[in-house]
Amino acid sequence: MTNRTLEILLGIRNFYMNDCLFCKIIAGQIPNYTVYQDDHVLAFLDIHPCAKGHTVIVPKKHFADLQQMDSRSWSECAISIHKVIQKIQAVLKPDGMNIGMNDRPVAGQAVPHVHWHIIPRWSGDGGGSMHSIVRSKNVGEVKELAQLFVV
Ligand SMILES: [Zn+2]
C-alpha cells in the first residue's frame, strides 16, 4: 500500500468517524448523561428511553457493526458491559434487564456505530421478552438448519 493510498483510506475513515453521532458523543462534541465509562466503552442514558434507566453502551473505537469488530474489542466490551449492568443494578435496583443490540439496519440499528442497549425492567411494566422482537413465519426446519452448523 502506498502512502497516498493510506492517506486516502484514512481520510475516508475520518470522514465517516467525524460524521458518526456516537463518535461525536465519545469525543465530547455532544453532551451525554454518562452512566459509566472506562478505556473501552462509554455508557450513557438514552434520551428516548424505553424504560427508566435505558442505557446505551458504545465502544470508544468506531465499528459500524459487529462484522467489523475484532475479538479482542468484543472481549473488552463484554467485561465493560458487565460493569455497566452491575452499576445500573446498584443504582436503580430493577427487577431484571433486557440486554441486547440491533446489528445492522434490518435488525433496527439506527446509528452505524456498534452499541448495546440495557433496558431495566420492573415487575408489571408491560414489556415483553427478546422473543417479542420478531415472529417470522418462515423459520425453516430446525433439524435441517442444525446440519449447517455441524461442529
Ligand atoms: Zn462512531
Ligand 1 centroid to residue 116 C-alpha, Å: 13
117 touches 56 (CB < 8 A): yes
Residue 15, C-beta contacts closer than 8 angstroms, at least 6 positions apart: none
Looking at the chain, which runs of residues are DSSP E strands? 34-37, 41-45, 55-59, 96-100, 116-121
pTM of the model: 0.85
Res 10: pLDDT: 56
48 is an active site residue:
no
Active-site position among 48, 115, 117, 131: 115
pLDDT of the residue at 151:
86
Nearest to 52 by CA among 97, 11, 115: 97
* Residues, CB within 5 angstroms of ligand 1 (ion): 20, 22-23, 62, 113
How far is ligand 1, taken at its centre, from the CA of residue 129, in Å?
A: 29
**Cα 14 to ligand 1 centroid, rounded to whole Å:** 10
Task: Note down pLDDT in tens along the chain; length 151 residues.
Answer: 676 666 666 556 655 556 899 999 999 999 999 999 999 999 999 999 999 999 999 999 999 999 999 999 999 999 999 999 999 999 999 999 999 999 999 999 999 999 999 999 999 999 999 999 999 999 999 999 999 999 8
Angle, CA 8 vertex, CA 3 and CA 14 arms, to 5°: 120
The topology (CATH level 3) of 32-130 is: HIT family, subunit A (3.30.428)
Give the cell for residue 31.
453532551
One-letter amino acid for residue 12 of the chain: I
Q: What was the pLDDT predicted at 23?
A: 96
Domain ranges for the chain, please list them.
Answer: 32-130
Task: Tell how far the Cα of 113 is from the centroid of ligand 1, in angstroms.
Answer: 5
Buried b (16+ CB within 10 A) or exposed e, 11-44: eeeeeebeebebbebbeeeeebeebbbeebbbbb
User: What pLDDT is attached to residue 71?
Assistant: 97
